[in-house]
Amino acid sequence: MINNISNYFSNNGYFLLKKFLPKSKLLTIRKKIFKVLEKDKNFLPIKNISKYSSKSKLLRAANGNLKINLNNSEAKMSLKSISKKTNSISIRDPLLKIEELNSIVFSSKIINLASKILNSNNIKLGYIKLGIFFHNKLPKNCINYFHTDDLSKKVNKNKEVCKLSFSFLKSSEGVGEFGIIPIKKDKLKFYKQYFTKDYLEKNIRNKIIFPKVSLGDSVIFDPNNFYHIANKPKKFIRIMFYVEFLGPKNKILFQNVKISKSVYNKLDANKKKLCAHYQIVN
């Protein structure tokens, strides 16, 4: 089975893992996430999308290019009010704030799958993100456009990566907001970052996949070599957790990920090796 997943992933850039995690586990963690959301100090700086025109080129780029953030008083508002000014919130140091997330990250099932897909036992943990995404009428930005994470036309073996996404929705939303063009980027006739499906020729548009995701499912995908998109939620809020694994030659970490010493000390030797790029804190 795992070989079939690996082959499909290699050819199409993703695989839908049905019933990968117990719903009860996700709902328990979800309650703790909402507790964390009660305090604005748990947020990374929030981009104020309401200050930008829908025609702004800055919206068709990584979030880091946006310099206008919500001020302190705005960040303390209710989620409903915040949703009128931004498309998303990222939780600061999620592995510290919600310790139960570590049981997902260090699941042997996930690690074994990532090792098989990346064809190595020398993989490392990379990007970790707990994101809150809003349904609103603000302009789209960043991940709401088709893009690749490494912002390059070239397929680079030194940047091998696979990313798993987990939703904390209570029930199925039907066809998911995540979409992917199942053609490796170097096989396409164009190179462009941050575009809508209207940019694509009809034969490519017809190949876009939006996996039907239910609670407990996970999508594992290649964010560097396949164009993908995350449309805005169909309902008020979407809560997503992303876990990235790096190939043996990949040392690129997009952020400083912190893990508590108490959690780290309980890991076996092989799982501790996964944390080579992480900061261990008391």
**pLDDT of the residue at 172:** 43
Whether 204 has a pLDDT exceeding 90, the answer reads yes
**CA gyration radius, the chain:** 18
Query: Between 2-12 and 108-117, two packed helices, what is the crossing angle to 10 degrees?
Result: 50
What pLDDT was estimated at residue 254?
A: 82
| pLDDT tens, position by position, 2-17 | 788 999 999 999 999 9
Residue 206, Cβ density class (10 Å: 0-12 exposed, 13-18 middle, ≥19 buried)? exposed
- Classify strands 279-281 and 258-260 as parallel, antiparallel or unpaired: parallel
Q: Could you tell me the two tokens for 94?
A: 């999620």
Q: Please, what CATH class does the domain formed by 2-281 belong to?
A: mainly beta
Per-residue pLDDT at 30: 95
pLDDT of residue 251: 87
Residues 212, 18 contacting (CB under 8 angstroms): no
The mean pLDDT value for 194-209 works out to: 96
- Residue 221 has a pLDDT of 98
Total count of residues recorded for the chain: 282
Model pLDDT for residues 223-275, shown as the tens digit of each residue: 999 999 999 998 889 999 999 999 999 988 888 999 999 999 999 999 999 99
Q: What is the pLDDT of residues 39-82, one digit of tens each?
A: 999 999 999 999 999 999 999 999 989 999 999 999 999 999 99
* pLDDT tens per residue across span 144-189: 999 999 988 889 988 999 999 999 976 545 556 899 999 999 999 9
User: Residue range 6-31: average pLDDT?
Assistant: 95
What does the alpha-carbon distance between residue 166 and residue 256 come to, in Å, rounded to a whole number?
A: 21
87-146: pLDDT as tens digits: 999 999 999 999 999 999 999 999 999 999 999 999 999 999 999 999 999 999 999 999
How far is residue 237's CA from residue 163's CA, in Å, rounded to a whole number? 22
CA dist 158 and 274 (Å) reads 17
Question: Pick from 211, 158, 213, 160: which is nearest to 184 by CA?
Answer: 160
Would you state the pLDDT for residue 33? 97
Strands 237-246 and 124-134: antiparallel
What is the domain partition of the chain in residue ranges?
A: 2-281
pLDDT of residue 73: 97
Give the 3-state secondary structure percentages of the chain, helix then strand then coil, rounded to 5: 30, 20, 45
* Per-residue pLDDT band at 22 (split at 50, 70, 90): very high
With a cut of 80, say whether residue 1 has pLDDT above it: no
d(CA 225, CA 180): 11
